[in-house]
A and B are shown apart, each in its own frame.
Chain A
Amino acid sequence: MRAIALALAAGVLSLAAISAPATRAPADDPALTLELKDHKFQPANPTIPADTKVKLTVRNLDATPAEFESEDFDVEKVIPGNSEITVNIGPLKAGTYEFYDEYHEDESTANLVVQ
């Protein structure tokens, strides 16, 4: 039982720690907005600066849910139909990073250009 109490206490502590946000993204982070229509991303090859954290908004204009995913920049997030999500990506090194809607991977795969 003490073990449960300890585990719970650890859980509560960690929750308390996260509810006090440590590193809010400063408002001047560059932002990028992508739109998803007919399971295709617009713009198709967006560009963001290297070594910078970017606030990425993805709008799903389709009625069907999507799962915005990239193994290259490590994001996996569900976007319900006619909805939008925001993710923080990077800082990334210069290069090309693949991303897609996992539910329609063939149609949606696109590249994020970091330079």
Chain B
Amino acid sequence: MLATAVIVFREVIEAALIVSLVMAATKGLAGRNFWVATGIVVGVIGAGIVALFADSISHLASGMGQEVFNATIMFVAVAMLTWHCVWMSRHGRELAQAAGSVGSDVREGRKPLRALAVVVGVAVLREGSEVVLFLYGIAIGGDNQAGQMMIGFLIGLVGGAALGAAMYFGLLQIPARRLFAVTNTLIMLLAAAMASQGVSYLVSADLLPAWGHSIWDTSALLSDRSIVGKMLHSLVGYTARPEGIQIFAYVVTLGSIYALERWARVSPVARPT
């Protein structure tokens, strides 16, 4: 039971942190809960489908289907996060003002909500499919421990959700006028983290060069597998032994988002909002 709880918790952390960051970043937008919930539900359904076809997926791309699939998911999320940052750089001020009032209707807010719902969906899908496979393995393992397993699963799930909630309420301690500046920075870092993980999958699949392995090694200091390491890995892309191309992707993503934000700020708004 405890083993189940630990594994589920570990898998849930990443999705939970991403969901809570997205929720903080969209605080005060009308329809936010609907879009986040939609992202989660679609992600859970998708996780089941991916788990069902796990065998077929791994045989795609000459046995590297899982890597290509995960990388694609990462790059979709990076595109959505980039778009969100750019959008926020143009509309952030209105939102910061609106965040103070409950149920404000910044109608434009639906746009970043849809983009971020996709991010939530793919985060849940990716981690969720591993949970589904794990539970399936126990279920057909015939240990007749279905009850124990369900309890373990729930403990892990609630634990992960609690961690996400803690981060969410922590972020909300930030004064409303500065909240979006902080969440926008966090979302930039999340995008860079995901780009770095995405290229790492493609290096594993032999589709990209590594440009050097273990550029540095901080695994003795903070292991990727520890809870803190895992949280930092999910949120800001901490990697104890990065490949050269991961660092490159990280820097390029941050630089591109920054440049696009500047460009969006100076270029005229298409229509007044």
Contacts of A14 in B (CB 8 A): 75
Q: How far is the CB of A59 from chain B (nearest CB, A)?
A: 12
CB pair B264–A74 under 8 Å, yes or no, is no
Identity of the chain B residue whose Cβ is nearest the Cβ of A73 in the assembled complex = B241
Q: Is residue B208 contacting chain A, with contact meaning CB distance below 8 A?
A: yes
In the complex, what distance in Å separates the CA atom of A72 from the CA atom of B223?
10
In the complex, what distance in Å separates the CA atom of A65 from the CA atom of B264?
47
In the complex, what distance in Å separates the CA atom of A22 from the CA atom of B199?
13
Q: How far is the CB of A72 from chain B (nearest CB, A)?
A: 8
Identity of the chain A residue whose Cβ is nearest the Cβ of B267 in the assembled complex = A2
Query: B114-134: contact bitstring with A at CB < 8 Å (1 yes, 0 no)?
Result: 000000000000000110011
Identity of the chain B residue whose Cβ is nearest the Cβ of A74 in the assembled complex = B241
CB pair B219–A71 under 8 Å, yes or no, is yes
Q: Is residue A10 contacting chain B, with contact meaning CB distance below 8 A?
A: yes
Task: Classify the secondary structure of B's interface with A.
Answer: helix
Contacts of B209 in A (CB 8 A): 22-23
Contacts of B140 in A (CB 8 A): 63-64, 81
In the complex, what distance in Å separates the CA atom of A49 from the CA atom of B82?
42
In the complex, what distance in Å separates the CA atom of A103 from the CA atom of B135?
9
Identity of the chain B residue whose Cβ is nearest the Cβ of A89 in the assembled complex = B204
CB pair B66–A65 under 8 Å, yes or no, is no
In the complex, what distance in Å separates the CA atom of A94 from the CA atom of B83?
44
In the complex, what distance in Å separates the CA atom of A50 from the CA atom of B233?
28
CB pair B66–A78 under 8 Å, yes or no, is yes
Contact among B7, B87, B137, B256 for A81, CB-based, below 8 A:
B137
CB pair A65–B241 under 8 Å, yes or no, is no
Q: Restricting to A1-26, which residues have a CB under 8 Å from any CB of B?
A: 1, 3-4, 6-8, 10-11, 14-15, 18, 21-25
20 intermolecular pairs with C-beta atoms under 8 Å apart:
A1-B270, A7-B79, A7-B80, A14-B75, A18-B71, A22-B209, A23-B206, A23-B207, A64-B136, A64-B140, A65-B54, A67-B133, A67-B134, A71-B223, A74-B200, A80-B55, A81-B137, A83-B58, A85-B58, A106-B3
Additional 19 contacts, C-beta under 8 A, given A23-B206, A65-B133? A6-B260, A7-B82, A11-B76, A18-B207, A23-B207, A25-B206, A64-B136, A65-B136, A77-B58, A78-B129, A78-B133, A81-B137, A83-B58, A85-B58, A86-B63, A88-B205, A88-B206, A91-B213, A103-B133
